[in-house]
Amino acid sequence: DDVWAVVDDHHLEGAYEFPDFRNALEFTYEVGELAEEEWHHPDIHLQWGEVRIEVWTHKIDGLHESDFVMAAKMDRCYEEYPEE
Amino acid sequence: DDVWAVVDDHHLEGAYEFPDFRNALEFTYEVGELAEEEWHHPDIHLQWGEVRIEVWTHKIDGLHESDFVMAAKMDRCYEEYPEE
């Protein structure tokens, strides 16, 4: 999995690539729905062809198992999207 | 309009506040739909309770009338959302 990096021992940061804006937008919305289901809300930066994510656990201001679970769920969601 | 600032004579930057994640997510999606309709795609940063936007015209790497039109349309869209 090349998407994710642990940054400053504090959060996970990942970037997903898309062939256009539309796919990036739909992915953003799906991640948002997932965030509501899991009640775990990442920061999501949407731009043409890319969605960047930062996720951490606000309550402990750091990383928890649930962050890695969210990351894995986003990865699974991304598999449904076209590559370029 | 307190939302928008011109930054570095290069782009518009604005932040919209929301009472929760759900409203911020729905607004993000609406702005994305608008971006596709106008074929003018801002950067959109979604987090709990806030959506930050940067918009400029890539072709001229700066500001054009269409950026201000996009900003006004986003403002109009925001009026439909609850304040807190």
| Residue A61, CA atoms < 13 Å, CB-side half-sphere | 0
Question: Which residues from A are below 8 Å from B33, CB to CB?
Answer: 25
Q: Is the pLDDT of residue B78 over 80?
A: yes
Answer whether B25 touches A (CB < 8 Å). yes
Q: Is B35–A22 a contact, with Cβ atoms under 8 angstroms apart? A: no
Is B38 at the interface with chain A, CB within 8 A? no
Q: Do A46 and B28 touch (CB under 8 A)?
A: yes
What residue spans define the domains of chain B?
4-78
Cα A76 to Cα A15: distance, rounded to the nearest angstrom: 14
Q: Does A57 touch chain B (CB under 8 A)?
A: no
How far does B53 lie from chain A, in Å, by closest CA?
Answer: 10
Interface test with B, best of A41, A48, A59 (most B CBs within 10 A): A41
Confidence of residue B63 (pLDDT cuts 50, 70, 90): very high
Q: What ipTM goes with this model?
A: 0.94
Q: Are the CB atoms for B51 and B18 separated by under 8 Å?
A: yes
Q: Tens of pLDDT along B10-58?
A: 999 999 999 999 999 999 999 999 999 999 999 999 999 999 999 999 9
Q: Which of A11, A30, A39, A44 to mutate to test the interface with B (most CBs of B within 10 A)?
A: A44
Q: What CATH number is given for A4-78 in this structure?
A: 3.30.1360.20
Across the beta sheet with A43-47, the strand order is: A4-7, A11-17, A50-55, A43-47, B43-47, B50-55, B11-17, B4-7
Asked whether B50 and B16 are in contact (CB, 8 A), the reply is yes
